[in-house]
């Protein structure tokens, strides 16, 4: 037998073996569970009631998804969320899935990710099964509807918006849920950092609030408190559920990295770090926030450093250390405009406090990056959604909408205050 014949026979055997392997792969091992038991999910559910409607939700862990789907959905980078709505109103309601997660996954998307090559009828059965377990609209009057919504993963605590749309009405819920395997108690989400009451400045009017905000440090620092870090160019005021709901609706997610934790305010690491989700995992706007020892009419006050990396969404993916882009005012203003579309903004104003740093005399931060700024910090007041753009009140503090030379800010020097 010639060498060519030997090679031909070997290739023929290899081809047959490959076809057999593909055929066996096509005989999918997936089987629908005999019963999709949501009993364990109900034991962990978090619920709230408003205007005759009760909303409940639970985050599924790997064990839950294996029990309900016959496969570990969580391994695909998807976090299943069980939602139940009891509609006690006289009209049908619709769950707005994009209010829960602007980038939610459809059941067919998730099922497709688990298809096998040449799965044939098994893949089709999987499609139908995943579709049937999904949350179905509408919820008729007096009825109860439950199902799964596939969301992007969160760790520790997941803030879930449940927005229910009726005729000329929206019934919103915001629920804090424990993520299975996490170590964070959802109750801690109500008091991110408990200042002693004696240390809190309680402001009852806008004038005293403005003065307190302008006395805040200009910038974060390093752990020693001696080296300046990024400017504190934004303030958020409101109830935690309203703040979190607005962030989720604009696709900001918690994402703390080592470089974030190196920055300190009030001698502690950020209470939260959120990043705007960009396409294909690209770097995007970040927000590092700290609860401040200030209250405004009983509401929480957060001070934040808002920035973007050099290169923006064109910066290298997977980069562990991102350099602050020098135009921090642009990042601040992009955040403000983004939040105006969240449906949860009530008031907007600007105060001094950061200190002017012109492009000709930029300021340097921790890692050697430089930035320039008009010295202002944006102050956004949150309210329970829905709020329209025309509902937003512009405070007559620093008249930001005027030309820069006409603002004549007081105390806006280039000096850095701690």
Phi-psi region of 126 (alpha: psi -120 to 50; beta: other; left: phi over 0): alpha
C-alpha closest to that of 298 among 201, 389, 391, 373: 201
Phi, psi of 174 (to 5 degrees): -130, 120
- The tokens for 276 are 């705007």
Phi, psi of 330 (to 5 degrees): -65, -45
Question: Is 70 exceeded by the pLDDT of residue 302?
Answer: yes
Measured in whole angstroms, the distance separating CA 102 from the mean position of its chain's CA atoms is: 10
Is 258 or 211 the better-scoring residue by pLDDT? 211
**SS3 at position 293:** strand
pLDDT tens track for 122-158: 999 999 999 999 999 999 999 999 999 999 999 888 9
Which residues, listed in sequence order, are joined to residue 272 by a DSSP beta bridge? 289
Question: Is 70 exceeded by the pLDDT of residue 34?
Answer: yes
Q: H-helix or E-strand containing 211?
A: helix 206-214
When pLDDT is cut at 50, 70 and 90, the band that residue 416 belongs to is: very low
When pLDDT is cut at 50, 70 and 90, the band that residue 22 belongs to is: very low
**What's the pLDDT at 318?**
66
Least confident of 25-39, 250-264, 373-387: 25-39
**What's the pLDDT at 11?**
54
Question: Is 90 exceeded by the pLDDT of residue 17?
Answer: no
- Mean pLDDT of the 235-256 span: 92
Do the beta carbons of residue 262 and residue 291 sit within 8 Å?
no
Do the beta carbons of residue 176 and residue 159 sit within 8 Å?
yes
pLDDT tens track for 334-389: 999 999 999 999 999 999 999 999 999 999 998 899 999 999 999 999 999 889 99
Q: What pTM was estimated for this model as a whole?
A: 0.81
Is 19 or 399 the better-scoring residue by pLDDT? 399
CB atoms within 10 A of CB 301: 23
**What's the pLDDT at 411?**
43
Question: Is 80 exceeded by the pLDDT of residue 276?
Answer: yes
**What's the pLDDT at 42?**
95
**What's the pLDDT at 155?**
86
Question: Is 50 exceeded by the pLDDT of residue 116?
Answer: yes
E strands, 31-76, in order: 46-50, 53-59
Question: Is 90 exceeded by the pLDDT of residue 224?
Answer: yes
Is 237 or 315 the better-scoring residue by pLDDT? 237
When pLDDT is cut at 50, 70 and 90, the band that residue 213 belongs to is: very high
**What's the pLDDT at 184?**
58
Which residue blocks in 134-238 are alpha helix, DSSP H? 206-214
**SS3 at position 62:** helix
The rounded percent of the chain whose pLDDT value lies above 70 is: 84
C-alpha closest to that of 177 among 64, 294, 303: 64
Rounded to whole angstroms, the Cα distance separating 344 from 161 reads: 12
Domains parsed from the chain with CATH numbers: 39-184 (2.60.40), 191-407 (no CATH)
Q: H-helix or E-strand containing 274?
A: strand 272-276
Q: Please, how many CA atoms are within 13 Å of residue 12, restricted to the half-sphere of its CB?
A: 6
**What's the pLDDT at 109?**
95
- Using only C-alpha atoms, the chain has a radius of gyration, in whole angstroms, of 26
pLDDT tens track for 152-211: 999 888 999 999 999 999 999 999 999 998 765 444 454 456 688 889 999 999 999 999
- The tokens for 171 are 């019934």
Average pLDDT, the chain: 87
When pLDDT is cut at 50, 70 and 90, the band that residue 279 belongs to is: low
Highest mean pLDDT among 75-79, 140-144, 276-280: 140-144
């Amino acid at each position: 037998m010639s060498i060519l014949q030997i090679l031909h026979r070997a290739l023929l055997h290899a081809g047959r073996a490959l076809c057999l392997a593909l055929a066996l792969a096509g005989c999918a091992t997936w089987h629908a569970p005999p019963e999709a038991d949501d009993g364990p999910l109900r034991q962990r559910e978090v619920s709230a009631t408003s205007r005759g409607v009760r909303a409940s939700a639970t985050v599924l862990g790997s064990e839950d998804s294996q029990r309900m789907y016959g496969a570990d959905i969580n391994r695909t980078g998807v976090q299943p969320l069980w939602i139940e709505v009891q509609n006690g109103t006289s009209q049908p309601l619709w769950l707005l899935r994009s209010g829960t997660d602007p980038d939610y996954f459809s059941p067919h998307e998730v099922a497709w990710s688990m298809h096998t090559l040449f799965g044939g009828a098994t893949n089709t059965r999987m499609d139908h099964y995943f579709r049937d377990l999904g949350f179905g609209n509408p919820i008729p009057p007096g009825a109860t509807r439950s199902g799964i919504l596939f969301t992007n993963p969160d760790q520790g605590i997941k803030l879930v918006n449940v927005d229910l749309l009726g005729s000329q009405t929206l019934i919103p819920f915001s629920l804090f849920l424990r993520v299975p395997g996490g170590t964070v108690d959802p109750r801690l989400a109500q008091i991110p950092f408990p200042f002693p009451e004696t240390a809190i400045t309680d402001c009852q009017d806008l004038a005293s609030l403005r003065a307190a905000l302008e006395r805040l440090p200009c910038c974060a620092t390093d752990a020693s408190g001696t080296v300046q870090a990024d400017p504190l160019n934004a303030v958020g005021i409101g109830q935690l559920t309203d703040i979190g709901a607005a962030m989720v609706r604009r696709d900001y997610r918690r994402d703390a990295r080592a470089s974030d934790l190196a920055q300190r305010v009030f001698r502690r690491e950020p209470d939260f770090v959120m990043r705007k989700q960009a396409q294909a995992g690209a770097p995007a706007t970040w927000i590092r926030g700290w609860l401040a020892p200030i209250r405004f009419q009983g509401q929480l006050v957060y001070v934040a450093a808002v920035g973007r990396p050099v290169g923006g969404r064109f910066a290298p993916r997977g980069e562990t250390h991102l350099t602050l882009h020098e135009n921090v005012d642009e990042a601040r203003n992009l955040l403000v405009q983004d939040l105006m579309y969240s449906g949860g903004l009530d008031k907007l104003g600007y105060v001094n406090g950061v200190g002017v740093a012109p492009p000709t005399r930029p300021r340097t931060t921790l890692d050697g990056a430089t930035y320039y700024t008009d010295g202002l910090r944006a102050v956004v007041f949150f309210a329970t959604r829905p709020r329209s753009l025309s509902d937003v009140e512009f405070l007559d503090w620093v008249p930001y909408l005027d030309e820069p030379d006409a603002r004549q800010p007081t105390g806006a020097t280039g000096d850095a205050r701690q």
